[in-house]
Amino acid sequence: MRRSTFLKAAAAGGLSLGGGLALPASARGGTRPLAQTTTKVADLTGPGLTTRFRMEATDLGIPARTPDGRLLFVFGDTFEGASVGAGWWRSPVGLWSGTTDLAAGVTWSGAVGGDAAQQFWAYEHDNPEFSTVLPSDVITIGGSMYLHAMVNKGLGTVVWTEIWRSDDSGATWVHTGAKFPSDLHGGMFQLFTWGLGNDGYVYVYSTGFQRDKPIILHRVPADRITDLAAYDPWGYRDGVWAWGNPPTPILEGSFGEMSLRPLDGKWVLTWFNAGDYRIDGIVMDTPTSNLYTAHRSTLIWGGAWGAEDDSHVAQLYGGYVIPGSTLDDLHLSVSQWNTGTGWPYRVMQFRVRGFWP
């Protein structure tokens, strides 16, 4: 699938690849508490903002706290000029930030690789085996960072996924040897988001990269994150939900990019709701909570070009929780791509107040 095809339908007010599963009435939600407000804080990438790193066009911006205390944002397909396809193509790349006041907007302190943002590891794009490698999610465990990445042959066609590790706060990356088949669990083990619990487990929500599959759940001991055999599925069998059962969808819908994080004694899931053209969020007690009855709200709505405001964004996707957020003061990195013109293709920061009542 070509990259332009993947998001183009969003401009018309909806995006659902492959006729995704319908959300049950109890899950559709989408209403915002009266106290909830959304504001755009800043553009984070683009001309004049990331030009010095030779990356004017980029997306995703998956953030994590580094072991040395900074923020690392990991970006997907990145181009030197201000348009998709304009010059030097890399993915993934990363920028560091020392920002402590999120309300003032994230600013950049440097790029992985030096003056210019370098690709995390060497490979040629559009080679005979695959076209690009896209970041799925990044997590910090102790002194190491782990990046789950999807190897794609055309956007949405995942040939395998893999895990890379950095022991120097993102400056260099090595392959862990973890390589997962793309058809595992019916193709619902491609796009990851993960969070570290206080019980020694990493909880993994996963789905396909076609925006037409539900979410399934696994947990894995934090010290065995690269061992596929250690991933324990959560499933429903013989009238009981339990670990070790075959994985059962925990939420149906058309899911794009996701961000699962422990936050303020709860867990938060934010995601691009491709079927309803918006970014939604859920607050839950634990990753095994019933997601159909958990608190749910729409955080940012899709909109039309020329009719955007603080809470309506044309051709939006992503929606990752920025470290330093709280339940009442949630900051998200949100992507936008005008597939008709190739620009904007950028990452922005949004602030949601009152998400949790």
Please give the domain boundaries of the chain with CATH numbers for all domains: 3-353 (2.115.10.20)
pTM over 0.75: yes
* Cβ pair 64, 145 in contact under 8 A: yes
pLDDT tens, residue by residue, 31-78? 444 589 999 999 999 999 999 999 999 999 999 999 999 999 999 999
What does the pLDDT look like over 8-20, one tens digit per residue?
333 323 332 222 2
Cα 336 from Cα 347, distance rounded (Å): 6
- Render pLDDT for 274-322 as a digit per residue (tens, 0 to 9): 999 999 999 999 999 999 999 999 999 999 999 999 999 999 999 999 9
Residue 194's SS3 state is strand
Length of the chain: 357
Which has the minimum average pLDDT: 1-10, 101-110, 222-231?
A: 1-10
C-alpha to C-alpha distance for 217 and 248, rounded to whole angstroms: 8
321-340 pLDDT tens trace: 999 999 999 999 999 999 99
- Mean pLDDT, rounded, of the chain: 91
What pLDDT does 326 receive? 97
Q: Is the pLDDT of residue 27 over 50?
A: no
Dihedral sign (CA 254, 137, 94, 176)? negative
Q: How confident is the model at residue 155 (pLDDT cuts 50, 70, 90)?
A: confident
Give me the pLDDT at residue 293, please: 97
The CA distance from 45 to 91, in Å, is 15
Handedness of CA 329, 294, 192, 340 (dihedral sign): negative
CA 61 – CA 41 distance, rounded (Å)? 15
